[in-house]
Amino acid sequence: MPRTDIIATMQADIERVLISRRQIAARVGELADQISGRYAQYPEGLVIVSVLAGAMVFLADLIRHLPLRMRIALVGFSSYPGPATEAGDLTCVCPLDIDVERRHVLVVDDILDTGRTLRRVVSDLRRMKPASVRTCVLLRKPGKTEGDFEPDFVGFDIEDVFVVGYGLDYDDQYRNWPDLVVLKPELYGASPAACDRAS
């Protein structure tokens, strides 16, 4: 199938663009400025711990705007098995493989929803006795977060809809779409909960 046709079929799945690639690029630059300002005081730099796989596009853009020494480590959890848009149990599928003792750690994730993922990552990290742990999310759904978890850096507050694109997936697809978008409700045929959230 020619490339333009592939793009057209993906385009046809999109109901609306929530945040455009231009808006994302501008905000990532602003976030990077805030983060650089905060960590400039540490000549030894920081460790960025990022959460697979949704944060990978955000991480790739963000780190190229950070004029800081850094190490990067990845952790992975499985919470949305297959074509599901409601989180299941959190299973660690890729443990942290770096020593963060006495280091400044910044956790980077795609989206803060209930907060269970970030809470878990932060509590696992704290046991490793880092000098500090801060968190950065591209997206946050206000009102959804359980407890009083406050990320240190937030790109956008969004409404409670299921978003894909810019690294975020539905059934492991759409991660390569450059904008953050909402899919047409009929695509979530097997998962009625998502229809409610996408409408």
Token pair listed for 160 = 């409670």
Phi and psi of 15, rounded to 5°? -80, -45
Ranges within 131-190 binding Mg ion (CB under 5 A): none
Q: Does 54 bind Mg ion (CB under 5 A)?
A: yes
115 interface partner picked from Mg ion, ligand 5GP, none, CB below 5 to 8 A per type = ligand 5GP
The CA-atom distances, in angstroms, between 33 and each of 23, 38, 62 are 16, 9, 10
Q: Which amino acid, 62?
A: L
Q: Which residues neighbour 1 within 8 Å (Cβ) at sequence distance 6 or greater?
A: none
Does 5 qualify as catalytic in the annotation?
no
Q: How far is the CB of 51 from Mg ion (least distance, A)?
A: 5
Nearer Cβ to ligand 5GP (40/60)? 60
61 interface partner picked from ligand 5GP, Mg ion, none, CB below 5 to 8 A per type = none
- CB–CB of 155/191 below 8 Å? no
188 interface partner picked from ligand 5GP, Mg ion, none, CB below 5 to 8 A per type = none
Q: How far is the CB of 23 from Mg ion (least distance, A)?
A: 21
Q: Which residues are designated catalytic?
A: 113
